[in-house]
Amino acid sequence: MAEPGEGRLGLTILGGFLGAGKSTWARHQLHEGQFARHHLIVNEAAGTPVDNLLLGGAARLSVLAGGCACCEGLPALISLLRHVCDENTGAAGRQIDGILLETSGLADPGAIARAIAADPVLARHLRITTTLVLIDALHGLAQLSAEPLARAQAEAADRLILTKAMRAEPGAAGDLLATLRLLNPAADISGAELGLAVALPEPGTARLLAGPERQAPIRPWRLDVGAEGAWVALSTWLSALLAARGEDVVRVKGVVRTPAGRLLLQSVRRVVQPPEILPETELAGPAPEEGVIVLIGRNFDAAMLERSWRLFGPG
Ligand SMILES: Nc1nc2c(ncn2[C@@H]2O[C@H](COP(=O)(O)OP(=O)(O)OP(=O)(O)O)[C@@H](O)[C@H]2O)c(=O)[nH]1
C-alpha cells in the first residue's frame, strides 16, 4: 500500500534571522553537491535581491523579492510552489528531486508550513521534509531575547544549526546552545562554520529570556548610492551609521561597482563583513542592481537616510 506522502515533492525550508548565514550555508551545500537536483527558491524582503548572487551553483533558481514569504509575499510563494509542482507532474515527469526554500530573515518558517498545509493543491503535491533554522552564534542570544520572531523561528525548526560557531566566544555559544535546547527540546542541533559542519560548544547555562518589549517593525530601506567611485564614502558612511544607530541597523547589504570589480558589501548588526568581489560571469536569477544599498532595520525614514548619505557621499 502506498505511504501517505509518497510521490509528493519534498520541500526543505531554510530559515533563520537576518544575516544568520542562510545563503552562505546553502552555497556551501551546493558546492558539496547537496541539493544538486533541487529547485532553489530565494526569498528576500527587500525589492533588490542580493542572495542569488551567492547561489550561482543552483541548477534551477527562482527569486521572490520585495515581500517576506510568510506574510505579504505569501501569495507569490504559493503560486510559485504550485507552478514548480505543476512542472514536475504530468507527461514530462519529475525533473527535480525536491525544493529548497531560503526564506527571508524576517520570515517565520512555521507560518509558511501552515500556509502550505492549508493549501489544497500544495498539500497534495508537497511535503515538508525538514525545517532547518540557522542561529547566529555571535548574535543569537541577543536576538532570542529581543526579537519574538527569532524565537518563533527557533521554535519552528526540526533542525537547528549554530552558524559562525568558530567565531563565537565558547562560553556565550554554550549558553546559546543550552537556551536553544530549552526553547526547542525536540530539534536536532549541530554547528557550522561557513557551511562546514563543526563541533558544538560545551552546553552552558540557559539564559532566561525576558519578554521582548514592543518595538517598531523591522523593514527594508533602499538607498541609491550611485555609480562607481562611491566605495570609500560608502564604507565611511556605514561605519558612522553603525556607530550612531547600530542598535537600529539589523542588516545592510548591497552591490557597488569599484575599479576592482563588483563588490558585495554587507554587515550583520555592528559587524561589517569583509567585502567580497563578485564574479562578472552570468549568475542565476536577476542581475543585481549596482549602486543600491539595502538597509534592514527599524526607526528609519527614507529622507533621513538620504540626508545622512549626502553628508558623506561623493560630490
Ligand atoms: N565566520 C563566519 N561568517 C559567516 C558564517 N555564515 C555566514 N557568515 C557571514 O555572515 C554574513 C551574512 O551571511 P549570509 O549567508 O548572507 O546570511 P543570510 O542569512 O543569507 O542573510 P539574509 O538573507 O540577509 O538574512 C556574510 O558576511 C557571511 O560571510 C559562518 O558560519 N562563519
Ligand 1 mean position, distance from CA 28 (Å): 11
Q: How far apart are CA 149 and CA 143, in angstroms?
A: 9
In the predicted structure, residue 228 carries a pLDDT above the cut 70:
no
Q: How far apart are CA 105 and CA 111, in angstroms?
A: 13
Read off the pLDDT band of 212 (50, 70, 90): low
Is the separation of the CB atoms in 265 and 254 below 8 Å? yes
Q: Tell me, what's the pLDDT at 31?
A: 92
Q: Where does 9-198 sit in CATH, by number?
A: 3.40.50.300
Q: Domain boundaries in the chain? A: 9-198, 219-312
Q: Tell me, what's the pLDDT at 1?
A: 34
Strands 219-224 and 196-198: unpaired
Is the separation of the CB atoms in 218 and 296 below 8 Å? yes
What are the backbone dihedrals phi and psi of residue 225, each rounded to the nearest 5 degrees, phi first?
-105, 5
Pocket mutation for ligand 1, best pick of 14, 17, 18, 23 (most atoms within 8 Å of C-beta): 23
Pick the CATH number of 219-312 from 3.30.1220.10, 3.20.20.140, 3.40.630.30, 3.40.50.450: 3.30.1220.10
pLDDT digit string, tens, across residues 20-58: 999 999 999 999 999 989 999 999 988 777 777 777 777
Q: Tell me, what's the pLDDT at 311?
A: 85
In the predicted structure, residue 178 carries a pLDDT above the cut 70:
yes
- Between 111 and 273, the more confident residue is 111
Can you say whether residue 102 is alpha, beta or left, with left for phi > 0 and alpha for psi between -120 and 50 degrees?
beta
Ligand 1 mean position, distance from CA 10 (Å): 25
DSSP 217: P
